[in-house]
């Protein structure tokens, strides 16, 4: 395209975009901020004073010199100032990213920074927010080490990062993508374990390696856990895939897998990914912007409908002059109850532009409502209500068409009514606590503008605490999403906990915290294990496969009236039923483990009756996942059995009691027998006169501490006493 035609297209585009001047609501605020290029911006209340502060990174030009910076700007009654104290240990970087999160769950926001640092090294650093000395500082976290004591964080350039609790255990994890020192792309997922980040090798290997792109977490399939969208360039030592946009489902929770049902039409690098429910249908939709392989620009909306299925929204159709390749950010900036989109960057014609596209009735208008914004590239776009007047303000950073660096904060001075603060949930439901998770739920909050509300949850061991699940969050959607419930997938030790919920509207205004509820976790809680329900049942634990955890055998009558005997193999704390283990189905009896042959593994006695009331008492050995019937101790049901070395000869003997098939004088006979182990694999019935009992219990124990086993038995005798 020649220069004259290019400028003619530009003039026509500007005429099409032009709105009356009085429609402009975003005006420059006059805040003094350093112009940034190849950087990023992140808002967060790092000093916990109730207003939003600003972290900036990138390259600036001062006094004729280019410098790489990371700086903190405090917010004092809507005046931003460089806060020197927390910035003392911050190491400058560019071609990277930064983000706030309370990764150590101490109630204040910490900072992650990735990029090319002042020493020309690829870097990834975490800074802890520490006010213990009386002066709040962001201190370099020097404890991020792997199991071998080496630094666990790998630095990259042309980088992006994003915090999210992908494993739902209550602390934020970190994903980072970028280019390593060897010039190849890399994507690593770091799992947070008590404030220490370690590479999740399995999930990291699943993810495509990328740089010069974006990372965005969202529960796009609405199943309660966070899924992932990624974009960027893939470069390997042998070439690579060039531009990539991919989606990863989190299923089961904590395990990422490529979602092959979604193929993005926009394979892009650079640019941004931004999730939001702009059509208010309860599903998160996606905006994508970036450069395509031919250096064309792509700027598309994907509507999520039905849930988990992304399709291009054809109603949002931009011409080439408005398809910019930079950053994207959602918020309800006009306080009408639906989400609007800010976009900044460069078009295929190298026009530097910035837009705000408003949403109405579930559709995004392709004409910008703001026409006086300075177009920038190589920076970021972020919304925040920095002056707390109930109207969303916009920060843009990057370089303009002349190469000049800018960081401009636009103040929203519209005549719209201020965004009202939402109200918190009125009631919190009693949490459901199990051995591996806790389900929190609450009533919906309310808001006069927004129909789609999100929620923040906090949970701590002290009133208003959040040392278990942090409520210290950045400006944006709530940390639990749209749902009025949250599953925390971790085990809570016995203690008293305090929890509450906060409502967040589409303008990211936060309600007060709800009335706090006390959660008492007792020593015994429900298990997440699912076991067959039996009556006339018995069970026993034993590590039969010698793998260090206890397995379970349970027998009894199921709901259909049939006898069953099930072996549950303990696989790292999960009991898995092996219905092909080879056990005889029994009920109305007992289960007893014992290493009767002293070979180092457990053998199993089952006694009772089968579905047809045939009485049985069988001994089983276990080998390579299968039980084998190796002995018979008669025919008894309503029975009980126990192993013990009652004759002190070094091997286990057996006591068994129950009702037999024998009938004497019209009475069903009950017996109590001791079988002595001969040490050669056989048993002899001991000459002991014990009262025959059934429907009870028999147990060995040295109750008088004289070195030999005594016997306790209870039940019903043959005579019925």
DSSP one-letter string for 602-652: -EEEEEEE-TT--EEEEEEEEETTEEEEEEE----EEEEEEEE-TT-SSS-
Answer whether residue 21 shows pLDDT above 70: no
Phi and psi of 279, rounded to 5°? -100, 5
Q: How far is CA 134 from CA 7, 85, 131, 156, 680, in A?
A: 58, 11, 5, 34, 75
Answer whether residue 455 shows pLDDT above 70: yes
Helix (H, G, I), strand (E, B) or coil at 293: coil
Mean pLDDT computed over 207-224: 97
* pLDDT tens digits, 125-154: 999 999 887 889 999 998 887 777 777 899
Pick the range with the lowest mean pLDDT from 39-53, 136-150, 252-266, 539-553: 136-150
* pLDDT tens digits, 567-584: 999 998 899 999 889 999
Helix (H, G, I), strand (E, B) or coil at 198: strand
Report yes or no: 115 and 93 within 8 Å, Cβ to Cβ.
yes
Q: How far is CA 493 from CA 356, 437, 441, 479, 525, in A?
A: 48, 11, 20, 23, 10
Sign of CA dihedral 300, 305, 307, 308: negative
Answer whether residue 265 shows pLDDT above 80: no
Helix (H, G, I), strand (E, B) or coil at 14: helix
* pLDDT tens digits, 472-509: 999 999 999 999 999 999 999 999 999 999 999 999 99
Apex CA 194: angle with CA 188 and CA 198, to 5°? 25
Answer whether residue 5 shows pLDDT above 80: no
Give the number of other CB atoms < 10 A from CB of residue 354: 27
pLDDT of res. 321: 85
Instruction: Record the tokens describing residue 234, joined without a space.
Output: 């893939």
What gap in Å lies between CA 99 and CA 76, rounded to an integer?
21
Residue 181 parent element (H or E) = none
pLDDT of res. 4: 40
Report yes or no: 399 and 376 within 8 Å, Cβ to Cβ.
yes
Q: How confident is the model at residue 23 (pLDDT cuts 50, 70, 90)?
A: low
* pLDDT tens digits, 53-68: 999 999 999 888 999 9
Answer whether residue 3 shows pLDDT above 60: no
Q: How far is CA 395 from CA 54, 359, 373, 543, in A?
A: 10, 20, 10, 61
The full length of the chain comes to: 721
pLDDT of res. 22: 46
Q: How far is CA 40 from CA 25, 43, 60, 586, in A?
A: 24, 10, 12, 67
On the 0-12 / 13-18 / 19+ scale of CB atoms within 10 A, 90 is buried
Mean pLDDT computed over 548-569: 95
Report yes or no: 35 and 405 within 8 Å, Cβ to Cβ.
yes
Answer whether residue 7 shows pLDDT above 80: no
Q: How confident is the model at residue 12 (pLDDT cuts 50, 70, 90)?
A: very low
Around 118, how many Cα atoms within 13 Å sit in the side-chain half-sphere? 10
pLDDT of res. 85: 86
What gap in Å lies between CA 305 and CA 298, rounded to an integer?
21
pLDDT of res. 8: 37
Which residue has better confidence, 687 or 427?
Answer: 427
pLDDT of res. 420: 93
Quickly tell me which residue has 């856990």 as its tokens: 225
Full DSSP string of 456-481: EEEEESSTT--SSB-----SSS-TT-
Answer whether residue 11 shows pLDDT above 80: no
Q: What percent of the chain has pLDDT over 90?
A: 85
What gap in Å lies between CA 339 and CA 251, rounded to an integer?
28
Around 116, how many Cα atoms within 13 Å sit in the side-chain half-sphere? 19
Q: What is the DSSP letter of 22?
A: G
* pLDDT tens digits, 77-119: 999 999 998 888 999 999 999 999 999 999 999 999 999 999 9
Instruction: Record the tokens describing residue 364, joined without a space.
Output: 């995004």
Answer whether residue 555 shows pLDDT above 70: yes
Helix (H, G, I), strand (E, B) or coil at 23: helix
Around 685, how many Cα atoms within 13 Å sit in the side-chain half-sphere? 11
* pLDDT tens digits, 655-698: 999 999 999 999 999 999 999 999 998 999 998 899 999 999 99
pLDDT of res. 593: 97
Full DSSP string of 308-347: T-EEE-TT----GGG---S-EEEE-TTSSSS-EEEEEEE-
CB-based contacts of 326: which residues, under 8 Å, 6+ apart?
Answer: 270, 271, 272, 289, 343, 344, 345, 346, 376, 377, 378, 379, 381, 398
Mean pLDDT computed over 252-275: 92
Answer whether residue 6 shows pLDDT above 70: no
Report yes or no: 109 and 44 within 8 Å, Cβ to Cβ.
yes
pLDDT of res. 152: 86
């Amino acid at each position: 395209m020649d220069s004259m035609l290019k400028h003619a297209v530009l003039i026509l585009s500007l005429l099409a975009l032009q709105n009356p001047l009085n429609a402009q609501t975003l005006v420059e605020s006059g805040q003094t901020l350093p112009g940034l290029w190849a950087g990023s911006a992140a808002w967060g209340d790092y000093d916990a004073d109730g207003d939003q502060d600003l972290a900036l990174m990138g390259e600036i030009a001062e006094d004729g010199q280019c410098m790489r910076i990371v700086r903190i700007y405090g917010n004092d009654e809507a005046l931003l100032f460089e806060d020197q104290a927390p910035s003392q240990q911050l190491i400058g970087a560019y071609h990277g990213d930064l983000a706030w999160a309370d990764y150590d769950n101490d109630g204040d926001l910490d900072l992650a920074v990735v990029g090319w640092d002042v020493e020309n090294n690829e870097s990834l650093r975490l800074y802890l927010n520490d006010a213990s000395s009386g002066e709040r500082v962001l201190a370099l976290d020097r404890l991020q080490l792997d199991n071998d004591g080496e630094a666990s964080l790998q630095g990259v350039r042309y980088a992006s990062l994003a915090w999210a609790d992908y494993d739902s255990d209550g602390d934020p994890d970190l994903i980072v993508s970028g280019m390593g020192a060897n010039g190849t792309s890399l994507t690593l997922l770091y799992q947070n374990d008590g404030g220490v980040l370690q590479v999740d090798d399995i999930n990291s290997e699943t993810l495509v390696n990328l740089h010069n792109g974006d990372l965005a977490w969202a529960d796009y399939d609405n199943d309660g856990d966070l899924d992932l969208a990624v974009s960027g360039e893939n470069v390997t030592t042998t070439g690579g895939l060039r531009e990539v946009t991919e989606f990863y489902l989190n299923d089961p929770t904590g395990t990422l897998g490529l979602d092959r049902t979604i193929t993005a039409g926009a394979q892009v690098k650079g640019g941004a990914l931004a999730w939001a429910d702009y059509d208010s249908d309860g599903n998160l939709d996606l905006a994508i912007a970036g450069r395509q392989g031919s250096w064309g620009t792509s700027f598309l909306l994907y509507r999520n409908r039905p849930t988990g299925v992304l399709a291009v929204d054809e109603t949002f159709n931009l011409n080439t002059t408005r398809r910019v390749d930079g950053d994207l950010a959602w918020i309800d900036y006009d306080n009408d109850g639906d989400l609007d989109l800010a976009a900044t960057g460069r078009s295929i014609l190298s026009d530097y532009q910035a837009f705000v596209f408003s949403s109405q009735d579930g559709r995004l208008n392709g004409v910008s409502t703001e026409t006086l914004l300075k177009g920038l590239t190589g920076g970021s776009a972020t919304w925040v209500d920095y002056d707390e007047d109930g109207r969303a303000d916009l920060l843009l950073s990057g370089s303009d068409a002349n190469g000049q660096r800018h960081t401009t904060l636009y103040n929203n001075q519209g005549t719209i009514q201020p965004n009202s603060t939402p109200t918190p949930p009125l009631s919190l439901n009693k949490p459901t606590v199990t051995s591996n998770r806790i389900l929190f739920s609450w009533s919906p909050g309310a808001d006069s503008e927004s129909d789609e509300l999100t929620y923040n949850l906090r949970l701590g061991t002290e009133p208003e605490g959040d040392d278990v699940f942090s409520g210290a969050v950045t400006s944006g959607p709530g940390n639990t999403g749209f749902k009025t419930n949250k599953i925390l997938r971790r085990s809570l030790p016995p203690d008293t906990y305090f929890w509450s919920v906060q409502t967040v509207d589409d303008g990211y205004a936060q309600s007060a915290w709800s009335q706090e509820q006390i959660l008492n976790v007792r020593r015994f809680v429900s298990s997440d294990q699912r076991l067959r329900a039996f009556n006339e049942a018995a069970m026993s634990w034993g590590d039969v496969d010698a793998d260090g955890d206890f397995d379970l055998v349970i027998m009894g009558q199921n709901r259909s009236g049939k006898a069953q005997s099930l072996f549950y193999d303990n696989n790292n704390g999960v009991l898995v039923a092996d219905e092909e283990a080879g056990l005889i189905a029994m009920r109305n009896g007992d289960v007893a483990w014992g290493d009767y042959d002293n070979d180092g593994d457990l053998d199993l006695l089952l006694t009772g009756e089968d579905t047809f009331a045939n009485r049985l008492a069988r001994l089983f050995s276990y080998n390579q996942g299968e039980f084998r019937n190796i002995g018979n101790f008669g025919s008894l049901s309503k029975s009980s059995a126990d192993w013990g070395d009652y004759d002190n000869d070094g091997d286990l003997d057996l006591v068994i009691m129950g009702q037999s098939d024998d009938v004497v004088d019209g009475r069903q006979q009950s017996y109590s027998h001791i079988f002595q182990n001969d040490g050669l694999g056989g048993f002899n019935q001991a000459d002991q006169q014990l009262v025959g009992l059934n429907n009870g219990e028999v147990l060995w124990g040295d109750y008088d501490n004289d070195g030999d086993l005594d016997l306790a038995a209870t039940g019903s005798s043959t005579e019925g006493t």
